[in-house]
Amino acid sequence: MDNSLNYAVIKTGGKQYRISAGEKLKIEQISADVGSEFVMDQVYLVASNGNIKVGAPLVDGARVTATVVAHGRHDKIRIFKMRRRKHYRKQQGHRQNYTEIRIDGISA
């Protein structure tokens, strides 16, 4: 079974991702323990061996099962603000939390 032919488009954390089975993905942090399995039901598109099902907006009965692999934090992003000739400088950093998941299966 070729994974490039079997994929889905899901929404989680306000973003959309194109996923396939066996893929690892970093998404916005969710409250689930490492090793636990969960189900995502916001599936917009499912493609399997050339058959494409597009939802309006969601595909009925489509589900994606995934396992939580790890929790972590992305690299630091520097925020720097400055107003020229006004002696105003402000520096700030931010690290976003994420959850790394492994896609176990796509069912339509």
In a domain, 101, yes or no: yes
Q: How confident is the model at residue 49 (pLDDT cuts 50, 70, 90)?
A: confident
Q: How confident is the model at residue 71 (pLDDT cuts 50, 70, 90)?
A: very high
In a domain, 37, yes or no: yes
In a domain, 46, yes or no: yes
In a domain, 2, yes or no: no
In a domain, 88, yes or no: yes
In a domain, 22, yes or no: yes
Picking from 33, 3, 7, the residue whose alpha carbon sits closest to that of residue 16 is: 7
In a domain, 1, yes or no: no
- Which residues span the domain enclosing 80? 7-107
Name the strands in the sheet holding 43-48, side by side, starting at the edge strand that comes first in the sequence: 15-19, 7-12, 43-48, 51-54
Fill in the amino acid letter for 93.
Answer: G
Picking from 76, 20, 14, 11, the residue whose alpha carbon sits closest to that of residue 40 is: 11
Q: How do residues 51-67 score in pLDDT, each as one tens digit?
A: 999 989 999 999 999 99
Number of domains in the chain: 1
10: tokens are 């899901």
The mean pLDDT value for 71-88 works out to 98
In a domain, 85, yes or no: yes
* Whole-structure pTM value: 0.82
